[in-house]
Amino acid sequence: MIAPVRNSLSGLLFGAAAALGSLALGGAWLQVTSFSTGRSNDTSHQVLSDAAIRNEIALVIAQATAPTLGQNPALVQQVVAAGAATGEGSDLLAGVIAEAHAHLIGESTKPVFITAEQMVPLVGNQLAATVAPAAIAVPTVGAMSTTRQILNWLVPISGAAATLLLLAGLATRPNRAEQLSALSMLLLGTALMLVIFGFIVPALILPLFSDDPWAAFLPSIARDTLGRLMLAAAFISLGGVACYAAAAATRRRDRWSQPIRTRYIEQRRWS
pLDDT on residue 257 = 63
Q: Predicted confidence band at 236 (pLDDT cuts at 50, 70, 90)?
A: very high
150 and 253, same domain (yes or no): yes
Q: Predicted confidence band at 41 (pLDDT cuts at 50, 70, 90)?
A: low
pLDDT on residue 1 = 37
Q: Which of 115, 136, 157 is the last residue of a domain?
A: 136
- What are the C-alpha distances in Å from 117 to residues 47, 113, 129, 224? 21, 11, 6, 28
Number of structural domains found in the chain: 2
Report residue 214 CA to chain centroid gap.
Answer: 18
Running DSSP on this structure, what letter comes out for residue 200? Answer: I
- pLDDT at 87 exceeding the cut of 50: yes
79 and 171, same domain (yes or no): no
Strands annotated E in the chain = 112-114, 134-136
Q: Is residue 247 within a helix (H) or strand (E), and if so which, with residue range?
A: helix 226-256
pTM of the model as a whole: 0.83
pLDDT tens-digit readout, 177-223: 888 888 898 999 999 999 999 999 999 999 999 999 999 999 999 99
Q: What's the rounded mean pLDDT across residues 39-57?
A: 87
Strand partners, 114: 134
How many percent of the chain have pLDDT more than 90?
A: 70
Q: Which of 136, 151, 180 is the last residue of a domain?
A: 136
Average pLDDT, the chain: 88
163 and 29, same domain (yes or no): yes
Closest by CA position to 94, among listed 42, 33, 31: 42
66 and 192, same domain (yes or no): no
Q: Are 40 and 98 in contact (CB under 8 A)?
A: yes
pLDDT on residue 159 = 95
148 and 259, same domain (yes or no): yes
Q: Predicted confidence band at 66 (pLDDT cuts at 50, 70, 90)?
A: very high
16 and 149, same domain (yes or no): yes
183 and 230, same domain (yes or no): yes
184 and 230, same domain (yes or no): yes
Q: Predicted confidence band at 7 (pLDDT cuts at 50, 70, 90)?
A: low
162 and 246, same domain (yes or no): yes
- pLDDT at 247 exceeding the cut of 90: no
Which residues are CB-contacts of 178 (< 8 A; sequence separation ≥ 6)? 7, 10, 11, 14, 247
Per the structure, the complete domain to which residue 92 belongs is given by 39-136
52 and 65, same domain (yes or no): yes
127 and 261, same domain (yes or no): no
128 and 152, same domain (yes or no): no
Question: Rg of the Cα trace of the chain?
Answer: 27
Q: Which of 136, 157, 173 is the last residue of a domain?
A: 136
pLDDT tens-digit readout, 88-143: 999 999 999 999 999 999 999 999 999 999 999 999 999 999 999 999 999 999 99
pLDDT on residue 118 = 93
Q: Predicted confidence band at 2 (pLDDT cuts at 50, 70, 90)?
A: very low
- What are the C-alpha distances in Å from 205 to residues 53, 118, 196, 199, 209? 19, 33, 10, 9, 8
- pLDDT at 82 exceeding the cut of 80: yes
Running DSSP on this structure, what letter comes out for residue 128? Answer: G
Q: Are 181 and 247 in contact (CB under 8 A)?
A: yes
